[in-house]
């Protein structure tokens, strides 16, 4: 069973571009060589000092080995001080499992290289939700292909990186632009009113695979 981490970092004012540049240069291939897949990296459009990213592991055993290898390895040791200097908090993390197919595998190409595809991502966190998520209903509601995930029941066996002890269902969808995202957001907030929602409107960074 694939394991996902949705990670939201609060940064010191004005430091996001610095972190993104460092992350994309040093922390993508170095994690993937160890068994993690960096699914997506995003600017939070509502908060210029928030960086959001998703990584994926084949299972919890692969996750443990990859985290030990990366955070105990030379790349993180060389660059951790520079990365941590940009951050106020990096502990806002949900440990998830996909419902259905999960994230598609996509090539990682830079902006300006003729890469087609959506340029905005909506991530809707239905917090406190312990019910069975309905991917088909979410796709009809948002009007776009979705990736749905729910809180994984696994124990976090790498306590150096805490995760939130909270049930959640998270829906991701990618759109061509701001107009389509706004319409999807209105539909979500109307249909799921009364729920505890966190709605993230995200812009993929240059090397984000999911976009």
- Encode pLDDT of 51-61 as tens digits: 999 999 999 99
Q: Quick count: other Cβ atoms within 10 Å of Cβ 131?
A: 9
Query: Distances from the Cα of 81 to the Cαs of 84, 85, 91, in angstroms?
Result: 5, 6, 17
What are the residues facing 63 on neighbouring strands? none
Per-residue confidence (pLDDT) for residue 37, from 0 to 100: 97
Residue 32 has pLDDT above 60, yes or no: yes
Cα 148 off chain centre by: 12
Per-residue confidence (pLDDT) for residue 106, from 0 to 100: 72
Per-residue pLDDT band at 168 (split at 50, 70, 90): very high
Structural domains in the chain, CATH included, are: 3-102+116-204 (3.30.70.100)
Per-residue confidence (pLDDT) for residue 152, from 0 to 100: 94
List the structure tokens of 53. Answer: 């990213």
The percentage of residues in the chain with a pLDDT greater than 70, rounded to a whole number, is: 93
Query: Distances from the Cα of 168 to the Cαs of 12, 15, 32, 118, 206, in angstroms?
Result: 27, 29, 26, 25, 28
Q: Measure the CA–CA gap between 11 and 53, rounded to whole angstroms.
A: 13
At 50-104, the pLDDT tens digits run 999 999 999 999 999 999 999 999 999 999 999 999 999 999 999 999 998 889 8
């Amino acid at each position: 069973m694939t394991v996902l981490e949705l990670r939201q970092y609060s940064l010191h004012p004005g430091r996001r571009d610095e972190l993104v540049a460092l992350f994309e240069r040093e922390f993508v291939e170095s994690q993937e060589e160890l068994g993690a897949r960096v699914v997506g990296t995003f600017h939070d459009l509502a908060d210029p000092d928030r960086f959001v990213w998703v990584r994926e592991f084949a299972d919890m055993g692969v996750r443990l080995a990859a985290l030990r290898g990366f955070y105990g390895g030379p790349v993180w040791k060389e660059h951790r001080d520079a990365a941590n200097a940009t951050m106020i908090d990096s502990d806002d993390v949900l440990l998830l499992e996909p419902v259905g197919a999960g994230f598609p595998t996509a090539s990682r190409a830079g902006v300006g290289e003729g890469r087609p595809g959506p340029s905005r991502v909506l991530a809707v966190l239905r917090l406190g939700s312990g019910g069975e998520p309905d991917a088909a209903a979410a796709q009809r509601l948002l009007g776009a292909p979705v990736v749905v995930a729910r809180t994984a029941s696994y124990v976090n066996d790498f306590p150096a990186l805490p995760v939130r002890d909270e049930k959640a269902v998270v829906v991701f969808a990618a759109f061509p632009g701001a107009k389509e995202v706004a319409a999807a957001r209105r539909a979500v907030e109307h249909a799921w009113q009364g729920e505890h929602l966190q709605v993230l409107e995200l812009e993929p960074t240059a090397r984000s695979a999911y976009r």
